[in-house]
Structure 1
Amino acid sequence: MTNQLVLLKKDFFTNDDQAVAVADRYPQNVFAEHTHEFCELVLVWRGNGLHVLNDRPYRIIRGDLFYIRAEDRHSYTSVNDLVLQNIIYCPDRLKLNYDWESAIPGFCGDERRPHWRIGSGGIALVRQTIGLLELESGRSDAQANPMAELLFGQLVTLLQRHRYAIDTPPATTSETLLDKLIAALAGSLERPFALDVFCRREACSERVLRQQFRSQTGMTINQYQRQVRICHAQYLLQHSRLMVSEISMRCGFEDSNYFSVVFTRETGMTPSQWRLLRCRGD
């Protein structure tokens, strides 16, 4: 891609020996597609937005986690009070004898699952560690870089312990109803999702759950579910030869005409127009 925006090490690290730093995004505004001279972890704390990673769109909310390689292309659009933190690092500068490869998906540039979720039970621990890491990465004494690396090792280990796949329910019992709900929504892409059934199973109030979801994400449950399905449809339109009618079924829309109406309302173009535009872009 010509004229690709590249974020440079010299603009984010204080010296050539620094291996880890924290880049706050309070808030994260719309940001054009770019790559980096470094790698990063992206953690979402509030609001919502559209994160496009290597041409795949993700609707992101509180608790989303991404492992970004230097060569990955990503951007942010349609942001709404989006707050996140980027923990940036240079693999070649890390000196700590630690098994980074097993703790960080894609550390060696291999194919990996880049998108995870962090349950509410782990968020407080993760944010506390990032706070300490941010303090150390801002120091200039001789112990700053080693301390920052130690804290980075602690952070990636915490993430490894508390992360779970977006469509898989959290493994521990300490996670909240919101964590379970988000996993259930992501796991129901190809079938209807009944919130009342979920609430009966979890013995919770539907009204209270709706209020909590909106408070944490800035979206209603229906808005989030619809946009997650549209994101999946966009991916299938660009990366498969499936007919629009089959894509609508795979994204939980039993009526392909209704799918086209919703898709057009959300994106400003029909599924066929969107596919044609993206294929031309490729």
Structure 2
Amino acid sequence: MTNHLVLKKADFFVSAAQPVAVADRYPQNVFAEHTHDFCELVLVWRGNGLHVLNDRPYRITCGDLFYIRAEDRHSYESVNGLVLHNIIYCPERLKINVDWDDLLHSARDAGKDPRWRLSSQGMAQARQLIVQLEHESVKPDALSLCLTESLFLQLCITLRRHRYQTQDAAGPDSSEILDLLMAALGQSLDTPFELTQFCHQHQVAERHLRQFFRQQTGMSISQYLRQLRICQAQDLLRNSELLVGNIATRCGFEDSNYFSVVFTKETGMTPRMWRQRYAVEV
């Protein structure tokens, strides 16, 4: 098994009593695979990058949310103006009598995809709480420790209330157009996505939406959707025995040769080389 870096509490928390800390990443640079002896929440504000969690790649951008357990292995690759917050916490230091396990850990068990998305309303509320949390969490006195945990509880409840998964048919709990677009793209991994039809349905100007999407994510809509499909293909190549042609179809590519060209351009390997790479590791 490949050795990886282990991040330690002592390097990130100001004291052994501090339950929660805020680590801003302005920007988040490439970071090798690592684990922690603490847990963290990852919230993405701007830009994009490749987040590899337990060997599965995710193309991340604004609004993405991950619940990271101490034992999880993850890394950041191919970053492009990626701005995020890591809210790190030690479960054993939390004192408020609530069901933290349900509030935090069940978030990973509720769906197959460990990535969640926050509605625009949820992001705005979370950002306000994180600003307060960042200010309060570095103070060592007893009242500040109590307030830090209280703010963290509010943040966890806010995330629970406003999060959604892109493959859910119900979609987000907000009418914000970016949320609706992200949900629609997440449901279009194996089917064509018609932006013109989406814009007509939601009465938004296509040019404005394209510009706004690029401003928020650093990518075009088509680039983002292609990255989502490539990430899904990487996972299927590694963890299934499906033929390359079948994987291409499942990832929205009608032509397997075109799929191979796009996959090779994005990853530097052909689909078969990618599969063989991990077959050797196993």
Task: Identify whether the pair has TM-score above 0.5, normalized to the shorter chain.
Answer: yes
Q: Could you tell me whether the CA contact under 8 Å between 2:166 and 2:184 is conserved in 1? A: no
Residue aligned with 2:215, SS: helix
Q: Does 2:141 correspond to 1:141?
A: yes
How far the C-alpha of 1:106 sits from its partner, in A, is 4.7
CA distance in 2, matches of 1:31, 1:134: 22
CA distance in 2, matches of 1:252, 1:35: 33
Corresponding residue for residue 70 of structure 2: 70
**1:76-91 equivalence runs, <5 A:** 76-91=76-91
Corresponding residue for residue 35 of structure 2: 35
Corresponding residue for residue 166 of structure 2: 166
What letter is aligned with 1:193? F
Greater Cα shift, 244-253 or 16-25: 16-25
What letter is aligned with 1:217? T
CA distance in 2, matches of 1:170, 1:249: 24
CA distance in 1, matches of 2:235, 2:182: 20
Q: Could you tell me whether the CA contact under 8 Å between 1:48 and 1:62 is conserved in 2? A: yes
Residue aligned with 2:67, SS: strand
How large is the Cα RMSD of the aligned pairs?
A: 1.5
What letter is aligned with 1:141? D
How far the C-alpha of 1:136 sits from its partner, in A, is 1.0
How far the C-alpha of 1:179 sits from its partner, in A, is 0.9
What letter is aligned with 1:143? L
Corresponding residue for residue 97 of structure 1: 97
CA distance in 2, matches of 1:268, 1:38: 34
Q: Runs in 1 of length 4+ with deviation above 4 angstroms?
A: 109-113
Residue aligned with 1:116, SS: strand
CA distance in 2, matches of 1:171, 1:66: 16
CA distance in 2, matches of 1:279, 1:110: 27
Question: TM-score, with normalisation over the residues of structure 1?
Answer: 0.96
Residue aligned with 1:40, SS: strand
User: Alignment length, in residue pairs?
Assistant: 280
Q: Could you tell me whether the CA contact under 8 Å between 1:105 and 1:114 is conserved in 2? A: no
Which ranges of structure 2 fall in alignment gaps of 5 or more residues?
none
CA distance in 1, matches of 2:206, 2:281: 43
Q: Does 2:154 correspond to 1:189?
A: no
CA distance in 2, matches of 1:171, 1:28: 26
Residue aligned with 2:198, SS: helix
Percent identity reads 62
Residue aligned with 1:65, SS: strand
Corresponding residue for residue 272 of structure 1: 272
Q: Could you tell me whether the CA contact under 8 Å between 2:172 and 2:183 is conserved in 1? A: no
CA distance in 2, matches of 1:2, 1:51: 18
Q: Does 2:211 correspond to 1:223?
A: no
What letter is aligned with 1:253? F
Q: Could you tell me whether the CA contact under 8 Å between 1:121 and 1:175 is conserved in 2? A: no
CA distance in 1, matches of 2:236, 2:178: 27
Which ranges of structure 1 fall in alignment gaps of 5 or more residues?
none
Q: Does 2:248 correspond to 1:255?
A: no
Q: Could you tell me whether the CA contact under 8 Å between 2:172 and 2:180 is conserved in 1? A: no
